[in-house]
């Protein structure tokens, strides 16, 4: 574990501190029918940061990820991206601002091949860098290359997860949102994915907003973290700092090592 | 044997027309889960557009080459029928999206009645004839007076259908438009997340379905030489049967179903009774729905997601 520790960026080195955030979620309330799933959430993601959101099942993490894309729409509050209010913007236009999401449940197109799924990811980028980006994704997940003509619906869960992340990367996002990327993956692949996220962030300055059950890894990777409980942010701070807090350890890191 | 070959030719011709209409049913069902009851009437409207256009082209413009005239009629009918269907989707179905599931279907029934009545009032309740367009026939066999013939118009129908289906297949399978269409069909929300404009894609589906129905409308007009305001219903239901038989949502299924329904209809008429040919088609609809609701090429219900 000590090797990852040294490779990780120092938690205090969060870039662009003080400047206007790339993504600002302000007092967002989201409803499913009459049930309020988000009860006024504030989250900032700055350029070049890795930010993670942790919380137990049903806390509203995926709801926040989808609300940023207007699915469902925030009933109150504001979502600002790059200085633009995107709260009421149509979902597909939000995608064209180069925000990409690998959503909960992966949502692979089941009757399209791996290749076509990746093509779908590249549609907002206009296919200008398709071959180059495809090689990058295959570098990251050689497994996808072997399965290139297989239909998405017949991939294993882990392969689908790789495809969902690869598809998100194909759009050349400026903000990459990942909802539980480690779900269903073998520990070795999880490490690979987390290393890849760190590397994309370090080398290309990619901004990442990450939802994770795997709080230990996520908080170690992230510059900053938020803890969501029942639709409200209860704690925020540098990743390592949260990792040390007894409340966090008790609630999300029970069992010590993960 | 002679009768068999003759009916095979006739059945494939008729089946091509049903197949072209069936694609519109199956695509719309695939993408928004709605049985578009007005689709048969859109087909009927296209044959009237073709009729008017044909008369204008041959009389006003004085074009004498029948193939040039047909080509113009085909393009014009495809364009205006697509426009009509695009408008129908905008006014009658899109506002009901997100409403209860039956709402757009009820709206479609209303639209079907509207189209049939509009044509009845504006074009009259009788059969509208056009002058015969293509009359040449090829005699394939002659057995003591029973001739097996292949009419040129049958050749045209099968050839045009085959070419357009290939173009359509290419569009859906190989272009980004087609990919977007399939993506919306498979997971609308994810498609939007990837930057696909879902509303435009659904409109496009209606436009493509109408264009193919218009091809069927032109072929129908050329084959039978008449257009009638009520002609949306029976061919419409048969094409719908074809879509269900092939497996609703499946594009190859729609074509296969169309050909089968065409063949069943003509063979039934030839060997059993012509009066009951429509009953044959409707019985197949009922039997398919009861015993094989997923159809011949329909996908199995369970799918790993
Ligand atoms: N489509 C929906 N309709 C109604 N309620 C919903 C819907 N989606 C989510 N909810 C509810 O909203 C709350 C938040 O759900 P959400 O999926 O955002 O949780 P989560 O933090 O992502 O949980 P998990 O870690 O299990 O993925 C839950 O109580 C859930 O039951
Ligand atoms: Mg979730």
Chain centroid to CA B243: how far? 10
Check if the beta carbon of residue B138 is closer than 8 Å to that of residue B150: yes
Check if the beta carbon of residue B235 is closer than 8 Å to that of residue B43: yes
CA distance B196 to B180: 7
List the 182-241 stretch of A: residues with Cβ below 8 A of B: none
CA distance A175 to A97: 9
Query: Quick one: CA dihedral B109, B115, B120, B125, positive or negative?
Result: negative
- Looking from the CA of residue A55, the nearest atom of ligand 1 is 21
Between chains, do B182 and A108 touch, taking CB under 8 Å as contact?
Answer: no
B59: contact with A, CB 8 A cutoff: no
Share of chain B above pLDDT 90, in %: 57
Which CATH code of 3.30.420.40, 3.10.20.30, 3.40.50.300, 3.40.50.80 fits the domain covering A20-95+174-258?
A: 3.40.50.300
Between chains, do A171 and B180 touch, taking CB under 8 Å as contact?
Answer: no
CA distance B217 to B155: 16
**pLDDT band, residue A135 (cuts 50/70/90):** very high
In chain A, what are the domain boundaries? 20-95+174-258, 99-172
Ligand 2 centre distance from Cα of residue A177 (Å)? 13
Which pLDDT belongs to residue A14? Answer: 46
pTM, to two decimals:
0.87
> What separation in angstroms does the CA of A111 have from each of A154, A157, B253, B301?
9, 15, 16, 13
With a cut of 0.85, is the ipTM above it? yes
CA distance B256 to B263: 11
Element (H, E) at B269: helix B251-271
pLDDT digits (tens, 9 = 90+) for A192-242: 889 989 999 998 899 999 999 888 888 989 999 999 999 999 999 898 888
CA distance A190 to A173: 21
B9: closest CA of chain A, how far (Å) = 35
Is the pLDDT at A255 greater than 70? The verdict is no
When scoring B179, B194, B299, B300 by the number of chain A Cβ atoms within 10 A, the one with the most, hence best to mutate, is B194
What six digits make up the tokens of B86?
Answer: 């695009």
Beta strands in B152-258 (DSSP E): 226-227
Which pLDDT belongs to residue A7? Answer: 39
pLDDT digits (tens, 9 = 90+) for A154-196: 998 889 999 999 999 999 999 999 999 988 788 888 888 899 8
Residue A250: phi and psi, rounded to 5, are: -65, -45
Which pLDDT belongs to residue A4? Answer: 36
Which pLDDT belongs to residue A69? Answer: 96
**pLDDT band, residue A258 (cuts 50/70/90):** very low
Is the pLDDT at B289 greater than 60? The verdict is yes
Is the pLDDT at B303 greater than 60? The verdict is no
Q: A1-5, A42-46, A234-238, B231-235 — which is least confidently predicted?
A: A1-5
Which pLDDT belongs to residue A172? Answer: 92
Q: How many CA atoms lie within 13 A of B148 on its CB side?
A: 13
Residues of A in contact with B176 (CB under 8 A): 119, 123, 127
Question: Is residue A230 in contact with ligand 1, taking CB distance under 6 Å?
Answer: no
List the 170-189 stretch of B: residues with Cβ below 8 A of A: 176, 179-180, 182-183, 186-187, 189
Which chain B residue has the Cα nearest residue A157?
B305
pLDDT digits (tens, 9 = 90+) for A14-30: 444 457 899 999 999 99
pLDDT digits (tens, 9 = 90+) for B197-237: 999 999 999 999 999 999 999 999 999 998 989 888 999 99
Instruction: Identify the burial level of A40 via C-beta atoms within 10 angstroms of its C-beta, where 0-12 means exposed, 13-18 middle and 19 or more buried.
Output: middle
Closest CB from B197, B198, B305 relative to A153: B305
When scoring A109, A161, A168 by the number of chain B Cβ atoms within 10 A, the one with the most, hence best to mutate, is A109
Check if the beta carbon of residue A62 is closer than 8 Å to that of residue A249: no
CA distance B23 to A35: 41
In 3-state terms, what secondary structure has residue A245? Answer: coil
Which pLDDT belongs to residue A254? Answer: 61
Share of chain A above pLDDT 90, in %: 64
Check if the beta carbon of residue A39 is closer than 8 Å to that of residue A55: no
CA distance A144 to B9: 47
Instruction: Identify the burial level of A35 via C-beta atoms within 10 angstroms of its C-beta, where 0-12 means exposed, 13-18 middle and 19 or more buried.
Output: exposed
Which pLDDT belongs to residue B300? Answer: 56
CA distance B16 to B158: 6
Domains and CATH numbers, chain B: 2-291 (1.10.3470)
Is the pLDDT at A44 greater than 70? The verdict is yes
Question: Is residue A53 in contact with ligand 1, taking CB distance under 6 Å?
Answer: no
Among A52, A58, A213, A252, name the best residue to mutate to test ligand 1's pocket (greatest count of ligand atoms within 8 A of Cβ).
A58
Task: Enumerate residues 6+ apart whose C-beta is below 8 A from B193.
Answer: A69, A71, A91, A95, A101, A103, A107
Which of these, A19, A57, A22, A35, lies nearest to A177 by C-alpha position?
A22
Which chain B residue has the Cα nearest residue A115?
B179
For atom 14 of ligand 1, the residue with the nearest CA is: A60
Closest CB from B183, B303, B305 relative to A120: B183
């Amino acid at each position: 574990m000590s090797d990852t520790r040294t490779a990780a960026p120092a938690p205090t080195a969060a870039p662009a501190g003080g400047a206007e955030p790339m993504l600002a979620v302000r007092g967002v309330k989201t409803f499913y029918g009459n049930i309020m799933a988000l009860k006024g959430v504030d989250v900032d993601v700055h350029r070049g940061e890795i930010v993670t959101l942790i919380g137990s099942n049903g806390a509203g993490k995926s709801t926040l990820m989808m609300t940023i894309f207007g699915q469902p729409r925030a009933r109150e509050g504001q979502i600002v991206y790059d200085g633009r209010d995107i709260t009421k913007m149509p979902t597909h236009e939000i995608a064209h601002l180069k925000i990409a999401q690998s959503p909960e449940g992966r949502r692979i197109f089941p009757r399209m091949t791996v290749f076509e799924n990746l093509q779908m990811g590249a549609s907002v980028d206009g296919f200008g860098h398709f071959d180059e980006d495809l090689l990058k994704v295959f570098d990251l997940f050689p497994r996808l290359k072997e399965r290139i003509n297989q239909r998405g619906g017949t991939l294993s869960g882990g392969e689908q997860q790789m495809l969902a992340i690869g598809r998100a990367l194909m759009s050349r996002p400026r903000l990459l949102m990942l909802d539980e990327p480690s779900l269903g993956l073998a520990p070795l692949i999880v490490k690979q994915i987390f290393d890849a996220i760190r590397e994309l962030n370090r080398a290309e300055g990619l901004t990442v907003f990450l939802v994770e059950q795997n709080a230990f890894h996520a908080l170690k990777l992230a510059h900053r973290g938020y803890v969501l409980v029942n639709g409200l942010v209860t704690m925020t701070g540098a990743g390592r700092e949260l990792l040390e807090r007894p409340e966090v350890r008790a609630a999300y890191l029970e069992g010590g090592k993960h | 044997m002679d009768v068999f070959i003759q009916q095979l030719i006739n059945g494939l011709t008729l089946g091509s027309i049903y197949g072209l209409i069936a694609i519109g049913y199956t695509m719309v069902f695939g993408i928004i889960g709605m049985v578009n009851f007005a689709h048969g009437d859109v087909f009927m409207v296209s044959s009237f557009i073709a009729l008017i256009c044909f008369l204008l082209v041959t009389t006003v413009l004085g074009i004498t080459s029948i193939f040039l005239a047909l080509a113009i009629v085909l393009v014009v009918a495809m364009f205006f029928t697509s426009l009509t269907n695009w408008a129908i989707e905008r006014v009658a179905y899109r506002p009901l999206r997100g409403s209860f599931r039956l709402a757009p279907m009820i709206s479609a029934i209303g639209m079907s009645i509207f189209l049939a009545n509009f044509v009845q009032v504006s074009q009259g309740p009788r059969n509208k004839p056009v002058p015969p367009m293509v009359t040449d026939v090829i005699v394939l066999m002659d057995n003591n007076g029973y001739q097996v013939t292949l009419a040129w118009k049958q050749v045209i129908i099968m050839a045009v259908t085959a070419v357009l289906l290939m173009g359509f297949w290419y569009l859906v399978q190989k272009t980004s438009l087609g990919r977007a269409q399939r993506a919306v069909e498979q997971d609308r929300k994810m498609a939007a997340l990837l930057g696909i404009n879902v509303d435009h894609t659904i409109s496009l589906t209606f436009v493509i379905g109408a264009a193919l129905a218009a091809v069927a409308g032109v072929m129908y007009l050329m084959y039978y030489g008449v257009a009638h305001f009520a002609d949306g219903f029976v061919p419409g239901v048969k094409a719908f049967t074809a879509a269900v038989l092939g497996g609703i949502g499946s594009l190859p299924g729609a074509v296969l179903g169309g050909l089968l329904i065409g063949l069943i209809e003509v063979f039934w008429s030839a060997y059993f009774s012509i009066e009951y040919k429509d009953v044959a088609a409707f019985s197949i609809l009922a039997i398919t729905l009861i015993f094989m609701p997923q159809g011949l090429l329909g996908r199995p219900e369970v799918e790993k997601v």
